[in-house]
């Protein structure tokens, strides 16, 4: 089981979009669990649009993190991917616990219980440095950092890198990270941001996810991308790149 956390301190940086379509592409390669660690619950809405609210309210990522539900109780099993959902109540996490370290360690132990059931776990995170983020970074084998063109892109990246190294110091474990440029155009300004990312040598920059109306509309309508379309291929290639990073020994058939 390999855990891929999608994270950026900045809101609206294509985190949820990336987590959704990356998980869908990984699920074609191995059994995949998605975990929603963002109270906005966009991942939950996408994969479980019709799930009964009453059930969500009692069994979700918050009840799991607080030890009130078992992992088997919170996993919703679907044909495409399995899902650990979030609800707005996740906003209470910081109030009901004072120990992100304890929460993170318990989260890891809990995930270990389903280690044999999944090849891949994809975690979506909030656009802020909270306990949810610490926990998601702690359990990650790879942190994918989607970067979108904005004045604050590099600043946000640096803040997240600080957050990652704080987690590394806390738990004395090194994290693998990769940048994923999304929504970039061909303007000089946009290319400059990508060049600055590529200058950060110790962190690889993955192939770009193009700006695409169909990515936006399909995601909003909770539909998967059209098979063999350009956006579909972009996320399919991303899945291969991610696997290459986390399982360097993995050989693709016919490669
Ligand atoms: N490749 C893309 N092409 C077009 N729109 C995109 C793309 N990626 C994300 N978006 C749009 O950008 C907005 C923010 O994306 P989202 O994934 O919700 O960001 P975050 O989870 O970081 O807040 C959404 O409206 C989403 O549909
Ligand atoms: Mg989001």
- The CATH number of whichever domain residue 80 belongs to comes to 3.40.50.300
Counting ligands in written order, the one closest to the CA of 41 is: 2
Tell me phi and psi for residue 116, to 5 degrees.
-80, -10
What is the per-residue pLDDT for 251?
62
What is the per-residue pLDDT for 203?
94
What is the per-residue pLDDT for 216?
98
Question: Does some domain include residue 251?
Answer: no
Q: Could you tell me if residue 12 is left (phi over 0), alpha (psi between -120 and 50 degrees) or otherwise beta?
A: left
Atom of ligand 1 nearest to the CA of 18: 17
Residue 14 Cα distances to 27, 34, 73, 107, 248, angstroms: 20, 16, 29, 25, 26
Atom of ligand 1 nearest to the CA of 38: 21
Question: Does some domain include residue 254?
Answer: no
pLDDT, mean of each 10-residue run, the chain (255 residues): 96 96 98 97 96 93 95 96 96 84 93 98 92 94 95 91 89 89 93 93 94 97 97 98 88 57
Count structural domains, the chain. 1
Domain membership of residue 86 as a residue range: 2-246
Question: Does some domain include residue 190?
Answer: yes
What is the per-residue pLDDT for 252?
59
What is the per-residue pLDDT for 103?
92
Question: Does some domain include residue 252?
Answer: no
Nearest to 9 by CA among 159, 137, 134: 159
- 103 in contact with ligand 1, CB cutoff 6 A: no
What is the per-residue pLDDT for 232?
98
134 alpha-carbon distance from chain centroid:
13
Residues having C-beta closer than 5 Å to ion ligand 2: 15-16, 42
What is the per-residue pLDDT for 171?
79
Question: Does some domain include residue 16?
Answer: yes
Q: Are the C-beta atoms of 37 and 135 separated by less than 8 Å?
A: yes
Question: Does some domain include residue 195?
Answer: yes
CA of 26 to the centre of ligand 1 (A): 19
∠ at Cα 242 (32, 38), nearest 5°? 55
First to last CA, the chain: 23
CA of 16 to the centre of ligand 2 (A): 4
Question: Does some domain include residue 241?
Answer: yes
What is the per-residue pLDDT for 174?
83
Question: Does some domain include residue 17?
Answer: yes
What is the per-residue pLDDT for 97?
80
What is the per-residue pLDDT for 169?
86
């Amino acid at each position: 089981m390999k855990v891929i956390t999608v994270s950026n301190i900045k809101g609206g940086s294509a985190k949820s979009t990336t987590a959704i379509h990356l998980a869908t592409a990984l699920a074609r390669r191995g059994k995949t669990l998605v975990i929603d660690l963002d109270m906005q619950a966009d991942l939950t809405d996408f994969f479980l649009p019709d799930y009964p609210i009453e059930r969500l309210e009692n069994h979700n990522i918050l009840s799991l993190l607080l030890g009130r539900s078992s992992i088997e109780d919170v996993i919703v099993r679907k044909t495409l991917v399995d899902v650990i959902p979030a609800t707005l109540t996740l906003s209470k996490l910081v109030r009901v616990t004072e120990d992100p370290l304890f929460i993170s360690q318990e989260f890891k132990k809990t995930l270990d219980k389903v280690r044999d059931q999944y090849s891949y776990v994809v975690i979506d995170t909030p656009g802020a440095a909270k306990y949810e983020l610490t926990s998601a970074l702690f359990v990650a084998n790879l942190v994918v950092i989607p970067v979108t063109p904005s004045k604050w892109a590099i600043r946000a990246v640096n803040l997240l890198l600080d957050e990652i190294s704080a987690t590394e110091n806390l738990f004395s474990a090194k994290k693998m990270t990769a940048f994923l440029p999304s929504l970039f155009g061909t303007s000089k300004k946009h290319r400059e941001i990508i060049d600055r990312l590529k200058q950060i040598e110790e962190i690889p920059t993955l192939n770009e996810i193009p700006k695409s109306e169909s990515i936006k509309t399909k995601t909003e309508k909770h539909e998967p991308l059209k098979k063999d379309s350009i956006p579909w291929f972009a996320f399919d290639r991303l899945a291969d790149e991610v696997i290459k990073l986390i399982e360097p020994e993995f050989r693709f058939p016919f490669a």
